[in-house]
Amino acid sequence: MIRIIDDYSIRKKFFLLYILCVLLPIVITDSIVIYDVLRTERDIIERKMGNIANAVEYNFKNNINRASEIARSVYINKYIDEFLDRQFLNPLDFFINYQNFFRDTLLDSIVGIDNTIITLYSDNDSIVNGNEFKRIEVAKSKPWYNYLQESGLDKIVYLYFDKSISPAIDAKRKIIFIQKLNYYKYLKREKLVKVELDYSSISRNLTKMSYGATVYICRDSYILLSNGKYGDIGKDFEALTDEIGYTQKINLFGMDFDIVILKPKHEITKSLVKNIQLIIILILINTVLPYILVTMFNKSFTERITKLSEVFKNVDKEELLKIKDVHGKDEIGSLMKKYNRMADRINSLIQIVYKNKIHEQEITVARQNAELLALHSQINPHFLYNVLESIRMHSIVKEEFETANMIEKLSVIQRQNVEWGNDFIEIYKEMEFVKAYLGLQKHRFGDRISYELQVDDKCLFYKIPKLSIVTFIENACIHGIESKMTPGWIFVRIYQEDEVVCLDIEDTGAGMSESMMSEMLNKMRNANIEMLKSNSRVGIVNACLRINMISGNSALYELDGEEGSGFIVHIKIPHVNLK
């Protein structure tokens, strides 16, 4: 593909650049922006419809719950339950008790609230059918009674179109709440309470809320309530045929309802039409202006690059040709001017750069080797190991076991000094060396020295420079514990925090003054070969220099303590440098 492009003229490349890098991205980005605007508009509309659905659900539930509360007040009323269960002697006896009933209860006042109608049904043939009390046979012919029995529930909400009203012109939509009156189990008759809500009032309230959208409350794709044209109480429920924008399902007392919000029409189109002039202007600016600029740049580039191309055709000749009539202050003009100066020197410059690079690499390798040899020269002599082993065996033969133990620990230390095949060692091996060294110091100081070593399992196999930890422990023994007559402790803690490995060496010895700590910290942070020529704490400088080398100078050092109360060295090394 690249070779095909290389065969195109610069003019074609510029126009390809314009199409692929200007025109096409603009079309894509503008399309994405428009899509994002439309999607945002849809999301806003959907959230708005969701809020409307929540408000409708809240108001509808409030109406049904109000009917439920009325039914419950009847459900737990023992006087009403006993009245419905009583066997009356004749219609006159019922009428007398009926009058007493309304005088002794609040049912009459409940009936008149918000045009709510309460009807009580009982399987009692001594009751005379009227407005408030009816025999259960009257209910059994109603669709809501069959629905109650089939549902197996004790209470339901039911919306239906009552065609049984005579004349048929008075047929109405009804919203009712039915509950079985079975609270008092010793009363055996079947009894019901029906609370009929005012459909017209609920429909009007739905319209008055001014939701800004058409709202339907539906069941089985039939519109039961609406704030629009389907809210006529005198017409049977109609099927939903409009385009749905949002649906929210609810369940009230065993009946499922859908709250449907119709999709607003032309909202997104209106938003686009409103901004059409701005969109056209942006399209023109994003296409025509870049085309003009690309044409100008193309002319500026092609003429001068053609001249460069002509002189490079003669590179096989003994002498590079110079460009005539050089003009322009941009990079191409500068390149043409510099080419004229460069032509006679290019081959020699390549040779000079190549030789300098090789020489620089040789110097770098030599310097690193010299530094490593200088560091190794600071470590104790190597030739004692075999002699120490002979002395240890002689002590065992003479049964001088304490001396043999001390020499064994010293041999471990000496072996570590001798094995310089690699300057790096796993932390767990370094800690074996530390234990040997502290064991020797324990023989020397006795009860004046105690120590505690803590190494996180995750850090055991990280590699550090040899003898780096023991150098700091040696410093703690000599300058801390030895300088203080009272018993002291040495603590070594190695653990990992996030991306760094932490080395903490603490002693409870003589401590150090602020000035000495500042001087020591400066040497640790800036350790170099020159410092090793001095006689002051070269072991610490040696260890820090090697730590700095493996960590690329990213190790962090901190010192803490005060004179007379101990000293702590904190070292943090990125764990990636220790693998």
**pLDDT one digit per residue (tens) for the chain, 579 residues:** 555 666 667 667 777 777 877 778 877 887 787 778 778 878 888 888 889 899 999 999 999 999 999 999 889 988 888 899 999 999 999 998 888 887 766 665 555 556 788 999 999 999 999 888 999 999 998 899 999 999 889 999 998 888 776 555 555 888 999 999 998 888 888 999 999 988 888 888 888 888 878 899 998 888 988 887 887 888 888 888 888 889 999 998 888 999 999 877 665 566 667 667 777 777 777 777 777 776 776 666 677 777 777 777 766 665 667 777 777 777 777 777 776 777 667 656 655 665 566 656 654 554 455 455 545 544 444 335 444 555 666 567 666 766 766 676 666 665 555 554 567 889 999 999 899 888 888 877 888 899 999 999 999 999 999 888 988 998 888 888 888 888 999 999 999 999 999 999 999 998 888 999 999 999 899 888 778 766 566 788 888 988 988 888 899 999 998 888 899 999 999 999 888
* Rounded Cα–Cα distance for residues 32 and 15 (Å): 24
Which residues have CB under 8 Å from 470's CB, separation 6+? Answer: 413, 430, 433, 434, 437
Q: Which two tokens stand for residue 446?
A: 């006795």
51 φ/ψ angles, rounded to the nearest 5 degrees: -65, -40
* Rounded Cα–Cα distance for residues 432 and 437 (Å): 9
List residues bridging with 556 in a β-sheet: 572
Q: Which two tokens stand for residue 231?
A: 């809210």
Element (H, E) at 551: helix 538-551
Strand 449-455 and strand 488-497: the pairing is: parallel
Q: First and final CA of the chain: distance in angstroms? A: 43
Q: Which two tokens stand for residue 341?
A: 């100066």
Please calculate the CA angle 187-189-193 and round it to the nearest 5 degrees: 100
- The answer as to CATH 2.60.120.260 being correct for domain 422-578 is no
Tell me, what DSSP letter sits at residue 526? T
3-class secondary structure, 511: coil
Q: Which two tokens stand for residue 243?
A: 């385009």
The alpha carbon of residue 280 and the mean position of all alpha carbons in its chain are separated, in whole angstroms, by 40
Cβ burial, residue 359 (10 Å; 0-12/13-18/19+): exposed
3-class secondary structure, 399: coil
Which amino acid belongs to residue 478? I
Which amino acid belongs to residue 218? C
CA 17 to each of CA 22, 26, 294, 430: distance values in angstroms, whole numbers, following the listed order:
7, 13, 9, 62
The domains of the chain are located at 202-265, 275-342, 422-578
The CA radius of gyration of the chain, in Å to the nearest whole number, is 49
* Rounded Cα–Cα distance for residues 393 and 407 (Å): 9
Q: What is the DSSP string of 459-501?
A: GTT-EEETTHHHHHHHHHIIIIITT-SS-EEEEEEEEEETTEE
Which amino acid belongs to residue 445? F
* Rounded Cα–Cα distance for residues 142 and 534 (Å): 111
574 φ/ψ angles, rounded to the nearest 5 degrees: -55, 130
Other residues' Cβ atoms within 10 Å of the Cβ of residue 33: 12
Please choose, from the candidates 152, 176, 183, 156, the residue with its C-alpha nearest in 3D space to the C-alpha of residue 85.
183
Element (H, E) at 372: helix 346-376
